[in-house]
Each structure stands twice: as C-alpha cells, then as structure tokens.
C-alpha cells in the first residue's frame, strides 16, 4: 500500500486504509476490509464514512486537522451500526485532505469492552472514572502487546521487526541531524554441529547466552536483535565503523572465552561490520554487513570483518 511505510496489504491483524475527505475508500488492506459489511465486492471507490461509528468520520477528520502531528489516537469502533462492529485501538492521521487509518486487532477482551466503551461518553464522575481506568488498562495491554511483538521469544532481545523499525527511525535521524550509524551482523560458527551433537536444548542455551552477552556490552541507545536462526544484529547509532568494529571484537573475544554446558569446547562467532553510507537504505546497510560477515566466514571464522576492509581485521 503506497500510503504506508511497510507492506501491510495482506495483513489480517492490522487494519490499514486511506479515505478522501468525503469518506471514499482509496486504499485498504485485508485487515481493514474485515471491518466492513460483506457486500460481495471490494469497496474501493465506495463511500464508507458511515461505518466509522465512534468516533465518527467527521470527528476523525476534525482531530486530524487540529493536530496534524498526532491526529486521533485511541479506540475506534468500525462496522455496521445495525449489525456487527469491531472496536480496535489505532490512529487516524490527515492524508491529502483525507484520512490515513491504522488500527490493530486486540485480544478477545477488547471485543467484550465494546458496549462499555460506547456507553462511556456520558458526563458523570462515575463514567469518567471508568473511562480513565479502561484507558489505563488498555494502554498497559497495548504496551505489553507492542513489546511482545518486537521481542524474540527465545533470547529476549529484539526480533527482526524491531530491527526494521529501528532502522527507519535511525536513518531518518541521520538524514535530519547528521551523525553516523553502524551495524554489526553476527553469526554463531558451526551452530548446526552444536544442535546435531548436543541437542536443540543446548543450542537454545547458546543463543540465549549469546543474546545476553550482546545486551550486556551495548549502550542503551543500541538495538540488539535476533535476525533469525543463529544470526544477530546490533544497530549502533552515533557510532562510526571503527567504534563498531572494536565493539564487535569485544563480542568475539568474550564469546570465545565463555563456556557452555555441556559443550566440551568454546563457542565462537563471526562478525561483519558496516557504516551507513550517504543516501544508503537500511536494506543496503544490512546487506553490506552481511557481505562482510560472509567474508569473515570464508576467511576462517571467529573474526571481525569491516565492509570494504581487509578480512583480517579483528583476528
């Protein structure tokens, strides 16, 4: 979908849509279409403003106009007022004299709160107290859902989605304010052998301990993420390639000196390091770090290679 930074067209758990100022639907993903009454046809080009129950489409437009930076954030009830509706937490922002809507399907309890939320618009102290408590509860739940969605369940570090989110933010910062951004890609050497010889439980312990090592040696501003399998990334804002390579060497030497029960020998990892180049995309930065990592593997493993440098750096 052109109006969103990531491809959300096929997602069912996220509702994303773009409407013009009169409420005509211009773009919609699968999750947004789930909210509308089934008429047997895709309603692109149809006026769907009436399906915004609470807040109304007019109220969302007004909120977007009064606060362009934030628009409307909160609960949105969408659907057929005479039939089925869904209440989701989301955001509506102004977009080309219309609205860009993004909302996330919450867990079952949010469905049960539907009637209560619609009734909480009365001006009374009891209602205001209930609304405050409901908002606190929903914000806590939203925070937990967001945190879980960005965390690798095994190691506790960030996941691929967390890395991709951080890349967008940090590259925008570099473009706006200047500075540097470096990425370290790490891959545990001979990890298949660990699983084959000692079992997957031992392999999971290696990954968990390696993730903990990376977190313990990084700054609060750095982002540690498991990219998949035995691959990890460390994103380092305001760090040049020399600083990032030195940090990767600390990771390498600390891991090589550690011991993992019941393994009878050390665990090592190879590292590739790259610094964001002028006008480079996040994908380009990660790809160059991956290429440097491949060079480290090819030149003997258990070493650090910087993008475009001598493969023997950090041996």
- Kindly write down the DSSP assignment for every residue of 256-275, as one continuous string: HH---TT-SS---EEEEEEE
Q: Are 234 and 223 in contact (CB under 8 A)?
A: yes
- Nearest in space to 223 (alpha carbons), one of 211, 231, 213, 234: 234
Q: Which two tokens stand for residue 103?
A: 């909302």
**Strand pairing category for 181-188 and 98-104:** unpaired
Query: Which H/E stretch holds residue 228?
Result: strand 223-228
- Nearest in space to 231 (alpha carbons), one of 200, 268, 188, 201: 188
Catalytic annotation present for 230:
yes
Half-sphere exposure (Cβ direction) of 198: Cα atoms closer than 13 Å:
18
Q: Are 224 and 158 in contact (CB under 8 A)?
A: yes
Q: Which two tokens stand for residue 167?
A: 């890349």
How far is the C-alpha of 196 from the C-alpha of 53, rounded, in Å? 56
3-state class (DSSP) for residue 157: coil
Sign of CA dihedral 110, 39, 28, 71: negative
3-state class (DSSP) for residue 291: helix
State phi, psi for 264 to the nearest 5 degrees.
-95, 10
Q: Are 77 and 70 in contact (CB under 8 A)?
A: no
State phi, psi for 98 to the nearest 5 degrees.
-145, -145
Q: How many CB atoms lie within 10 A of CB 306?
A: 26
Catalytic-role residue among 111, 230, 231, 298: 230
Show which residues are catalytic: 230
């Amino acid at each position: 979908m052109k109006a969103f930074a990531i491809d959300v067209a096929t997602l069912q758990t996220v509702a994303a849509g773009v409407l013009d100022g009169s409420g005509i639907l211009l773009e919609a993903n699968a999750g947004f279409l789930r909210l509308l009454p089934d008429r047997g046809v895709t309603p692109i080009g149809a006026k769907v403003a009436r399906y915004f129950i609470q807040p109304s489409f007019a109220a969302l437009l007004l909120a977007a106009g009064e606060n362009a930076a934030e628009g409307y954030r909160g609960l949105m009830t969408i659907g057929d007022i005479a039939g089925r509706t869904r209440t989701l937490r989301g955001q509506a922002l102004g977009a080309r004299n219309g609205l860009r809507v993004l909302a996330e399907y919450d867990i079952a309890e949010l469905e049960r709160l539907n009637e209560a939320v619609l009734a909480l618009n009365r001006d009374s102290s009891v209602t205001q107290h209930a609304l405050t408590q409901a908002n606190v509860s929903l914000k806590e739940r939203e925070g937990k859902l967001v945190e879980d969605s960005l965390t690798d369940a095994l190691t506790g570090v960030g996941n691929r989605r967390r890395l991709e989110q951080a890349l967008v933010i940090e590259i925008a910062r570099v473009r706006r304010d200047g500075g540097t951004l470096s990425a370290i890609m790490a891959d545990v050497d001979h990890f298949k052998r660990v699983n084959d010889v000692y079992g997957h439980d031992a392999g999971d312990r290696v990954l968990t301990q390696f993730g903990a090592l990376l977190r313990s040696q990084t700054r609060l501003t750095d982002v540690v993420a498991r990219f998949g399998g035995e691959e990890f990334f460390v994103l380092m804002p305001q760090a040049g390639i020399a600083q990032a390579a030195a940090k990767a060497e600390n990771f390498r030497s600390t891991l090589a000196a550690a011991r993992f029960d019941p393994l009878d020998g050390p665990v090592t990892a190879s590292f590739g390091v790259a610094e964001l180049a002028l006008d480079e995309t996040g994908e380009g930065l990660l790809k160059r770090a991956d290429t440097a990592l491949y060079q480290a593997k090819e030149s003997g493993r258990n070493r650090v290679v910087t993008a475009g440098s001598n493969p023997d750096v950090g041996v």
